[in-house]
A = this chain, B = another copy of it.
């Protein structure tokens, strides 16, 4: 509806501490809106049921390193000997085609994306409280109580990244948080991103 904004997609970066629920919010957005997911590239082996270009782009280490050298990633990281990254080209192509892209990523990754694509819209997803975050992480049953306490300490430190974000959404009730992120995507497309001259010439043509 923004007169000059029809053909430009936007990159929305959903980030925040583990357990804040950014993955769930992301899934809902994909189901409820036209936004498309950014697909990561990895050098790890495909697991059963994973399809190349859907779950991940699977690549050899050589291919991945070449792409790094070519500046082909919005961000990448090495985790336990495997590389993971967000290839730049498919994202840029979608944006140019007017498609909004969503990128779910941890806070370190989001900071790198910000360096490489400052025009992105950075949304920090927060748990309603540390107590609730502890409950959620405990409920997953994948980590020891000790590991969870360590993670909570880390999370508290990571909140300092909030300065780098445009928006902050507290994920208490999922449907409210999803509605809020959807509102952000709509508002971002309503921003004045054109000059007065562009607007006037558009309306002039029509007189």
Contacts and interface: CB of A to CB of B under 8 A. Distances in A.
A202 to B, nearest CB: 9
Contacts of A203: 129-130, 156, 159
B200 A156 contact: yes
A206 to B, nearest CB: 5
Interface residues of A, number: 45
A126 B3 contact: yes
A163 B203 CA distance: 16
Contacts of A129: 203, 206
Contacts of A184: 183, 186-187, 190
A198 to B, nearest CB: 9
A194 to B, nearest CB: 8
Contacts of A176: 1
11 contacts: A3-B168, A124-B192, A130-B203, A130-B207, A162-B192, A168-B199, A180-B186, A183-B184, A183-B190, A187-B187, A187-B188
Q: Which 6 A-B pairs have the closest CB atoms?
A: A187-B187, A183-B186, A183-B183, A160-B196, A184-B187, A167-B190
A159 B199 contact: yes
A183 B183 CA distance: 4
A192 B206 contact: no
A5 B129 CA distance: 16
Interface in A170-192: 170, 172, 176-177, 179-180, 182-184, 186-188, 190-192
A182 to B, nearest CB: 7
A162 B130 contact: no
A199 B162 contact: yes
A2 interface: yes
A79 interface: no
